[in-house]
Structure 1
């Protein structure tokens, strides 16, 4: 009997046919290459579009600095909001595998349409002497294709990381250790794709043409689809547990209906199914916690409840269902603390690029590096730091803390928040130096590059990469680990929305700063001619917001209680 139990996973995962997953034949690292290759190709396609998109909008859609930056951050933000839809579909109905498969088709359709807007006569804007005059229809088609891509990525982003983590059984100690490493290498694969995008694809867009620059990501995405399906026989699948939003609503309604009931001091008197498994498909039982006692009223079993042969979920919920909602509520303050960090991160695609446009891009006598390609140093930073973190930092810290992961997940994220402050300080200092050169040489209205190498931007990109390894990867692992089993896609999507809200906050800050600083006919901090602006003030503002955010985060982290399963 024991040998039979060891044959199968113990976390409820199944194979593609719905049968219990055989440990020897499925999951673990042998299933991961196909998932990681899919993510690498998808991220290559995404960053191949987004890295240089602000320059595409400036040149071909004839938009100013602030408008182009806001359009990019709004679109990028939407790419991190749509995962809420994809995650809901995955957790409630389709499961992660079929959700990824379906949304990839929408993604490819959007990429194909975007390629056509940059290459097909009549769909691409007409240009004369480097000045383009797009029609309203052509501009609209570009945005339709971009937002189709945003919808497609919504079903991939929240599911791929969770689907990869599903390949490791938490009840097996060796597989549990591998799961922690998986998130590091998952983010590593993202940045391999980003590395190629920010170097090769940006060069193609700048020097060959945007038709090729968008067409290559479309082909790469097709390769991602093939890679994902090839690994199908090896995958482990978590069953969808039904609508998580419905279960949350049931707890709230049941608590309100029993507002006059008293929660018993003995937690064993609260309602829970007697089966070994939870009443929620695909979820383990959760231990009762003392926080948010009001919600416990939903699990108070009254005499009326006992008289019914079957519990009405809108009147009586299990402890596990109540704890599901508590887990999500506990995650929200941690989630909110990531928004400012994501605002800092979003500057790589907007303000860093605009700053780089004014600097000397020469690499020797015959080659110039596009300003958008400087994000390659963020990517290289991540690629350097992931093996250092996984192979050196974790073992060293483990000796002192005794924890398997070295740092707690919350400590890891907090370190990244601190590092991000230095990225903004580096960007601000560079801008101060740049403006001093402008003033010294009276270059206020010069359209030429400054005699200052673009490679002075490298430190700010490299520092953000280091911050990502701590905060973004820590966030991925934290939200997967602390999410209820049947809500993991939703909670992964929730962590991604910090990037969306970070982009939207960036747009809001740019709008507010522009409105305030352009009063009385002034040019403001971020004019089209940055030589007459004060972009450094914007970077100082973000540094101050980051410090305030970290102080608040310390208080939130101290309050947080980690999830416990039975």
Structure 2
């Protein structure tokens, strides 16, 4: 099927027949059920009343997550006495792990437990991790003369990575569970679902704002034990709130494992490599319907497309297989829908790759930006501003831009373009990528100016106010409104019905990959620039280094990445329910 065909008809067709208009039906039309496993009633379940409980739990999780990530580099350098490079690498690795574990949570949610029970289980793990981290911060006080730094570090890292595991079941499932509360077949609820992703990210940033101001101040001025205890108690409250909303949630039934279905397609295609592919427009030789008595784990069918044609071999019914695969193993013969699910994920991959560099840029806000802020004058009037609190401007930027985007920009763009979303998902992502480049350019110029003044100063006092960092945080925050929210919506929207949690996890995986990439770049830069006894670009004393070179390097990578994204987006073609690349 070519791109023009994709514009005329949807790639996903739900099997459930609609006996009346969806907007007036008593029950949802997307297969969701209530707590008693009965068809969900529209008036009694879901929508914003259910999202209140879901977003409340997400808010609590975000306060805890940002209470760690915003100031972790300060904790590592000031309390555990790690170097600047090691601390920045540790922070990026921990954040990367926190966004890698959602693959585990998404697999369990889509395959075994469902989103509600997965969130509940991982919230418990998260609370345990925060408790261990809080106890580790109190070790110097509790152990007294027998204090051991190695024991302190062991318990601190145990708490950190238990929290990273806990967040893995929350990040992909909260977003997907919230989107499940809106029936996509109802025009009013479908439009509300688009707003949900904006307000979901808004709640994240309220939590981030609280952490960057109140919690960070407590950590720096009262103590780390109290600073970690506050989000721990808030996490317990979030757990109680989430359970309290269980009667009004809409639940998607658990299907088969999406990873198993994808693996079956790959294995079957390889095993059938000798079979001859039919003509691109002829799908009569392919298995469209699973044999009676079997299930794919998905209640929707997908139309055949002609891209990635080698995978079609997994669905070819060989003449020797008899009655349309009635007795064939699913590892030998798959349905067209299974094949198209894997194709959908492959089509999204170039977009996913483009987002890795974006998240590598935003990773600077929790690592090198803070180290840069520690070399600047943090006195603002009568107040002393912790460097980690400058991330408040990132949060404020997000909180200002989301209402403007949702209530002003989208309606204007909708009237101009005639599209329901206003801007297309790819246009939204492109704007975010461009803003990340602008943020890196500003950071490079700022650091070059700071270095020039610092080396000219005779008294050794910080020559620049820390408030000069605010525009860099604000620009990257505006970029997050476009790119971070956009990638969540894109992957949820484009993923097949049985892969919604996995699709959201893939968006989170881009954050993980961006942070891991940042860790690798930091390590490589340190190794290359410290040869022959040189101080390097990022020494412990930044006045002797060239952090500005690092920011310029990230800006150049961002430009290359933006060009790659534009190339991919030009080849992208959309349809009403999914999208494909042109052949």
The 2-side partners of 1:290 and 1:410 are apart by 23
Given that residues 117 and 124 in structure 1 are in contact (C-alpha distance below 8 angstroms), is that contact kept between their aligned partners in structure 2? no
* CA 75–126 in structure 1, closer or farther in 2 if over 3 Å, else same: farther
* CA 60–298 in structure 1, closer or farther in 2 if over 3 Å, else same: same
**What do the CA deviations read for 1:499-541 (whole angstroms, capped 9, x no partner)?**
1111111111111111111111111110100111111000000
**What do the CA deviations read for 1:127-181 (whole angstroms, capped 9, x no partner)?**
9xxxxx8521221111011000011001001111011001111111111111111
Counterpart of 2:45 in structure 1 is 26
2:549 paired residue among 527, 537, 553: 537
2:115 paired residue among 75, 91, 96: 96
Task: Please state how far the C-alpha of 1:268 moved relative to its aligned partner.
Answer: 4.5
**What do the CA deviations read for 1:68-121 (whole angstroms, capped 9, x no partner)?**
111111111100111111110011110111000000000000000100111245
**What do the CA deviations read for 1:21-68 (whole angstroms, capped 9, x no partner)?**
111211111211111111111101110111001000111101111111
Task: Please state how far the C-alpha of 1:227 moved relative to its aligned partner.
Answer: 1.4
Counterpart of 2:357 in structure 1 is 340
* CA 378–336 in structure 1, closer or farther in 2 if over 3 Å, else same: same
Task: Please state how far the C-alpha of 1:294 moved relative to its aligned partner.
Answer: 1.1
Task: Please state how far the C-alpha of 1:124 moved relative to its aligned partner.
Answer: 6.9
Q: Helix, strand or coil for the counterpart of 1:241?
A: coil
Q: Is 1:188 aligned to 2:202, yes or no?
A: yes
Q: Is 1:216 aligned to 2:230, yes or no?
A: yes
Q: Which runs of 5+ in 2 are unaligned?
A: 1-18, 579-583
**What do the CA deviations read for 1:212-248 (whole angstroms, capped 9, x no partner)?**
1000010111111111111111101111211111111
For residues 180-329 of structure 1, the aligned pairs below 5 Å read: 180-265=194-279, 266-273=282-289, 279-307=295-323, 309-329=326-346
1:67 paired residue among 86, 108, 112: 86
Counterpart of 1:117 in structure 2 is 136
1:437 paired residue among 450, 453, 472: 453
**What do the CA deviations read for 1:311-360 (whole angstroms, capped 9, x no partner)?**
42112211111100001111111111111110100000011001111111
Given that residues 116 and 123 in structure 1 are in contact (C-alpha distance below 8 angstroms), is that contact kept between their aligned partners in structure 2? no
1:428 paired residue among 444, 462, 473: 444
1:40 paired residue among 59, 72, 75: 59
The 2-side partners of 1:493 and 1:274 are apart by 28
**What do the CA deviations read for 1:471-505 (whole angstroms, capped 9, x no partner)?**
00000000000011111111111111111111111
Q: Is 1:360 aligned to 2:372, yes or no?
A: no
Task: Please state how far the C-alpha of 1:264 moved relative to its aligned partner.
Answer: 3.0
Q: Helix, strand or coil for the counterpart of 1:315?
A: coil
Q: Helix, strand or coil for the counterpart of 2:384?
A: coil
2:177 paired residue among 163, 186, 196: 163
Counterpart of 1:524 in structure 2 is 536
The 1-side partners of 2:534 and 2:330 are apart by 61
Given that residues 348 and 461 in structure 1 are in contact (C-alpha distance below 8 angstroms), is that contact kept between their aligned partners in structure 2? yes
When structure 1 is superposed on structure 2, of 500-509 and 182-191 the one drifting more is 500-509
Q: Helix, strand or coil for the counterpart of 1:267?
A: coil
* CA 182–432 in structure 1, closer or farther in 2 if over 3 Å, else same: same
**What do the CA deviations read for 1:287-323 (whole angstroms, capped 9, x no partner)?**
2111111111212222333345444211221111110
Counterpart of 2:505 in structure 1 is 493
Counterpart of 2:389 in structure 1 is 373
Task: Please state how far the C-alpha of 1:3 moved relative to its aligned partner.
Answer: 8.5
When structure 1 is superposed on structure 2, of 372-381 and 307-316 the one drifting more is 307-316
The 1-side partners of 2:401 and 2:294 are apart by 40
The 1-side partners of 2:421 and 2:64 are apart by 32
The 2-side partners of 1:277 and 1:359 are apart by 69
Counterpart of 2:559 in structure 1 is 547
Given that residues 180 and 251 in structure 2 are in contact (C-alpha distance below 8 angstroms), is that contact kept between their aligned partners in structure 1? yes
Counterpart of 2:11 in structure 1 is none
Q: Helix, strand or coil for the counterpart of 2:375?
A: coil
Counterpart of 1:79 in structure 2 is 98
The 2-side partners of 1:558 and 1:237 are apart by 37
Q: Helix, strand or coil for the counterpart of 1:378?
A: helix
Given that residues 290 and 335 in structure 2 are in contact (C-alpha distance below 8 angstroms), is that contact kept between their aligned partners in structure 1? no
Given that residues 90 and 96 in structure 1 are in contact (C-alpha distance below 8 angstroms), is that contact kept between their aligned partners in structure 2? yes
Counterpart of 1:470 in structure 2 is 482
Task: Please state how far the C-alpha of 1:437 moved relative to its aligned partner.
Answer: 0.8
* CA 241–564 in structure 1, closer or farther in 2 if over 3 Å, else same: farther
Task: Please state how far the C-alpha of 1:451 moved relative to its aligned partner.
Answer: 3.4
1:505 paired residue among 508, 517, 521: 517
Given that residues 256 and 298 in structure 2 are in contact (C-alpha distance below 8 angstroms), is that contact kept between their aligned partners in structure 1? no
Q: Helix, strand or coil for the counterpart of 1:233?
A: coil
The 1-side partners of 2:322 and 2:82 are apart by 66
* CA 362–323 in structure 1, closer or farther in 2 if over 3 Å, else same: same
* CA 382–276 in structure 1, closer or farther in 2 if over 3 Å, else same: farther
The 2-side partners of 1:194 and 1:278 are apart by 47
* CA 111–274 in structure 1, closer or farther in 2 if over 3 Å, else same: closer
Counterpart of 2:8 in structure 1 is none
The 2-side partners of 1:564 and 1:358 are apart by 52
How many correspondences in the alignment? 556
The 1-side partners of 2:571 and 2:322 are apart by 36
Counterpart of 1:16 in structure 2 is 35
Counterpart of 1:395 in structure 2 is 411
Counterpart of 1:460 in structure 2 is 472
1:350 paired residue among 357, 363, 367: 367
* CA 124–438 in structure 1, closer or farther in 2 if over 3 Å, else same: farther
The 1-side partners of 2:296 and 2:290 are apart by 13
